[in-house]
Structure 1
Amino acid sequence: MNPVVRFAPSPTGQLHIGGVRTALFNYLYARKNSGTFLLRIEDTDQERSRNKYTKQILDSMNWLGFNFDSDPVKQSSRSERYQEVISKLIESGSAYRCFSTEKELRDFRKKEGSFLYPGTWRDRSADEVNERLNNNGKYTIRLRIPLEGDIRFTDLIYGDINTSCTELDDFIIARSDGSPTYNFTVVVDDHDMQVSHVIRGEDHISNTPKQILIYAALNWDIPEFAHLPMILGSDGSRLSKRHGAAGTQAYQELGYLPETLINYLSLLGWNPGTEDEIFNLEYLIENFSLEKVNKKAAVFDSKKLDWMSAQHITNKDSGQLLDLIKILKPEWGNSGLSDEHLRSVISSLKGRSKTLLDIISQSQYFFSDPSEYDQDAVLKCWKEDTSEILNSYAQEILVSIEWNDDSIDRSINGFADTKEIGKGKLIQPLRVALSGVLTGPSMVQLMLILGKDTCIRRIKNILNAVRI
């Protein structure tokens, strides 16, 4: 049987890094095994759930390329189904109404020092229950669990896990306002969606015994469980924004590529068993398996993410990068320049960039003359004879050469030889003149893209601006 998996985020904020990793591993498992990948929006928390976050989740899934195989399921649309199953459990005796007040439970906990429910209403008679109902007494619904025995399951990552029933109590499956609890809705949804494998974070391991008890009470098939290791920050605590981890939409707005995020997150808890670190989604689908998922917590490293991002930016076709930049910043390069010219700009900068925003921020001098010059750079490279060198190069050499990479390269080398100076005495101030800074693409590449007239004009500009 081909597996059915689901990703079930809550729309209470942006889709975070841990959620993306969970979605990714579910997606890879489904695609590797010719299975089904489903999406469920767990929006029963009406106070915190927002439609805008549901939209962000759907947009992020689309951006990442995680295509689900059926329309998303929203828990908020399934209230009748939950009530139907709760009624079934009450009728079968597997669940019961509990009229214990918060004060009664608080007093018991204080007296006994235990947070486990003592079963006060577990075996009350029908007459007692009906009396409370007739008096409009408030109640919760609790699952009647076995008083002894163990709940056992084999986690596909952590192995055999055993929980004694004495460690649990008759837990609540519906609150006093009638709303179902998380553990209950998850079981009903997973059953109705025919989920065969529940792949989620290890923080849900403690929920699994309760969910298994609900499956058993309903005589439903129990799915396989696989719990993914936690993602930690660099200080060993649970990953949060203070560690530099942002929401998925934020990474998109910062100019990261979706394949970068997918590549990096795949290595947080999984490895292919080789030294390879850079791969695409197709490679991951082909090589993914739960057997290669580690038990040890993974550590989120922003520097490693940026390094990996730089690799993907460098390796990506410049035309594809241009298309992505136009989506991110539609106004970029929007000055009548051809796409061919813009692709040349990107090609010159992508090897020095970690994100699309890096390309954008470094590219200004390709579109307009420098309005100011890096003063540290000027002080470093501007000597008494620099103005004369630049003026001579512009007037004696540039005006007459053919404009191609070989001619530009020969002009620089030939000029330095003729003047008997090191090439740095020409190239460094020339770079500042053309771009305003001392760093950037190769001089030949920069000049070729800017064009002869622009280069000559910018040399004149800096000669008028810098007086040493």
Structure 2
Amino acid sequence: MPEPEIGPVEILKTQHTMTRKIRTRIAPSPTGFLHLGTARTALYSWAYARHYGGEFILRIEDTDVARSTQDSVDQILAAMKWLGLDYDEGPIYQMQRLDRYNAVIEQMIAAGTAYRCYCTPQELEAMKAGQESRGEKRRYDGTWRPEPGKTLPPVPAGLKPVVRFKNPLDGDVTWNDLVKGPITINNREIDDLIIVRPDGIPTYNFCVVVDDWDMNISHVFRGDEHVNNTPWQINIFNALGAPLPLFGHVPVILGDDGQKLSKRRGAVSVTAYEEGGYLPEAMLNYLSRLGWSHGDDELFSREQLVQWFDGEHLSKSPAQWDPAKLSWVNASYMKLASDERLAHLVLPHLAKLGIEAQADGLLEQRVALFKDRCATLVELADWLKSYFQPVEATEADLAQHVTEAILPAVAALADKLESLTAWDKAAVQGAIKEVITAQGIKMPQLAIPVRVLVFGRAQTPSLDAVLALFEQKVVVERLRGV
């Protein structure tokens, strides 16, 4: 039989992995929370490294000094921990590597692959305005770019320069993207990038190359908003004589309105979903399916994800964020989770309702009774609160279900329940049946008013199971409080 065909991406990946250890990274900027898109990229990078027995590195790109905060760093670390994306190295902070960057910059200037530029902001704006008026592309015109036989302007006194990368003037930059396939951009489409600001702090596109080089990163998964940065970075890699990683640019995640999810639009932080009562394994499962698939599998474990995620089957199209689908995934995992675990996880959500509870056997029984009705831990806490706080039934439910005609049966049930010497589901069920028989009524006629009075809702799981998990005196008091 003929050998099965291997796709070009698989061939490239195989050739690459034969010579380099798999090392991936995630490098968030601490200028805000861990964005869902960044979390998905982190997940893909983590899963790829784990699949191939490689290493996953966390790097904090904090060179935007004015906007970076320790609170953001803490939130990023907490989100990574919650998702279970353990890293082998890090966190590594760029601001602690300034000496390394400066050394490389000086080497590049000496080698002629970078140069100092003394153009003022006003000169640059005038330059680009002139280009625009002539119908030309706005770009740096190379005023301070050294060339053989070229006389540079005199260095102005007291002006701090930037450092620019001397980008090749001709030729193409081509790479075989792990997601998008072959991409080619002509060097004339990009100009001489600023790699050091006037304050001496290096810029993103330079630091990321030095970091990936020093950390021997073999594969870079990131959002496709970085496609336009890649030609500059490849050219800098080449100027440094550094080995290139393989790049995979994953499409954006779109929100409900079809617009790109962003830090400025909507609750898109990972920790917002933790606070919203979602389980980490559900979020991991849902995020992984936003742009990747394994057949028709919808629900799978972390171990299965690692086993399956080989870098193939990444979508080239944007993914649509679907809150309803996420709720379904989370509800599925709520059903699978142990009662003991959910009892511990629901405690912070009960605390937000002013309820101090213990994750004991009784709480576990209550969790078991209601978890199948819940999409989140917040919903579970909302069900459980009736066991800890006085209930407030709606006027509509009281008027519809707690009528004068049913009050004698309610009073009879209160007496019967108060007299029970054993308090369990079977005893409660027996008491309800006796009252129904004695009063000559049907179960719904009594059960719904009792639910409203004791639990505050007209619909609950089996009434005997619900009541048996209350204290006996609480049930009696609520029935008599009519």
Q: What's the TM-score once normalised by structure 2's chain length?
A: 0.88
C-alpha distance in structure 2 between counterparts of 1:155 and 1:241, whole Å: 26
Partner residue of 2:237 out of 192, 209, 215: 215
CA contact (8 A) 2:350 2:356 kept: no
Change (3 A) 1:446 1:241: farther
Partner of 1:432: 452
C-alpha distance in structure 2 between counterparts of 1:330 and 1:379, whole Å: 32
C-alpha distance in structure 1 between counterparts of 2:322 and 2:478, whole Å: 42
Identical-pair percentage: 37
C-alpha distance in structure 1 between counterparts of 2:262 and 2:150, whole Å: 52
Partner of 2:478: 458
**Higher alpha-carbon deviation: 422-431 or 353-362:** 353-362
Q: Which amino acid aligns with 2:315?
A: N
C-alpha distance in structure 2 between counterparts of 1:205 and 1:436, whole Å: 55
Displacement after TM superposition at 1:204 (Å): 0.4
**1:160 correspondence with 2:179:** no
Deviations 1:336-363 (A, max 9, x none): x670111112222222222222222222
C-alpha distance in structure 1 between counterparts of 2:446 and 2:351, whole Å: 37
CA contact (8 A) 1:4 1:38 kept: yes
Partner of 1:448: 468
C-alpha distance in structure 1 between counterparts of 2:192 and 2:438, whole Å: 92
CA contact (8 A) 1:333 1:342 kept: no
CA contact (8 A) 1:5 1:36 kept: yes
Q: Which amino acid aligns with 1:32?
A: H
For residue 89 of structure 2, give the secondary structure of its aligned residue in structure 1. coil
Displacement after TM superposition at 1:88 (Å): 0.9
Q: How do 1:215-364 and structure 2 match up within 5 A?
A: 215-240=237-262, 244-274=266-296, 276-326=297-347, 334=356, 339-364=360-385
Partner of 2:201: 179
Unaligned 5+ runs, structure 1: 463-468
Deviations 1:342-389 (A, max 9, x none): 11122222222222222222222212443x432111111123320111
Displacement after TM superposition at 1:439 (Å): 2.8
Displacement after TM superposition at 1:131 (Å): 4.9
C-alpha distance in structure 1 between counterparts of 2:85 and 2:151, whole Å: 53
Q: How do 1:14-413 and structure 2 match up within 5 A?
A: 14-113=33-132, 114-123=137-146, 131-132=154-155, 135-240=157-262, 244-274=266-296, 276-326=297-347, 334=356, 339-370=360-391, 372-396=392-416, 399-400=419-420, 402-413=422-433
Q: Which amino acid aligns with 1:99?
A: Y
Displacement after TM superposition at 1:126 (Å): 9.5
For residue 450 of structure 1, give the secondary structure of its aligned residue in structure 2. coil
CA contact (8 A) 2:412 2:435 kept: no
CA contact (8 A) 1:18 1:231 kept: yes
For residue 78 of structure 1, give the secondary structure of its aligned residue in structure 2. helix
Deviations 1:288-325 (A, max 9, x none): 23211101100112222222222222221111112223
CA contact (8 A) 1:322 1:346 kept: yes
**Higher alpha-carbon deviation: 392-401 or 97-106:** 392-401
Q: What's the TM-score once normalised by structure 1's chain length?
A: 0.91
**Higher alpha-carbon deviation: 298-307 or 105-114:** 105-114
For residue 130 of structure 2, give the secondary structure of its aligned residue in structure 1. helix
C-alpha distance in structure 2 between counterparts of 1:127 and 1:374, whole Å: 84
CA contact (8 A) 2:101 2:202 kept: yes
CA contact (8 A) 1:98 1:139 kept: yes
Change (3 A) 1:440 1:130: same
CA contact (8 A) 1:3 1:195 kept: yes
Q: Which amino acid aligns with 1:6?
A: R
Displacement after TM superposition at 1:414 (Å): 5.2
Unaligned 5+ runs, structure 2: 1-19
Change (3 A) 1:279 1:40: same
Displacement after TM superposition at 1:397 (Å): 6.7
For residue 115 of structure 1, give the secondary structure of its aligned residue in structure 2. coil
Deviations 1:133-173 (A, max 9, x none): 7x444422222222211100000010000001111112221
C-alpha distance in structure 2 between counterparts of 1:329 and 1:391, whole Å: 32
Partner of 1:466: none
**Higher alpha-carbon deviation: 65-74 or 115-124:** 115-124
User: Across the two proteins, how many residue pairs are aligned to each other?
Assistant: 458
For residue 383 of structure 1, give the secondary structure of its aligned residue in structure 2. coil
Q: CA RMSD in A?
A: 2.4
Q: Which amino acid aligns with 2:141?
A: P
Displacement after TM superposition at 1:192 (Å): 0.6
C-alpha distance in structure 2 between counterparts of 1:63 and 1:224, whole Å: 28
Q: Which amino acid aligns with 1:92?
A: A
Partner of 2:12: none
Q: Which amino acid aligns with 1:21?
A: R
C-alpha distance in structure 2 between counterparts of 1:139 and 1:442, whole Å: 75
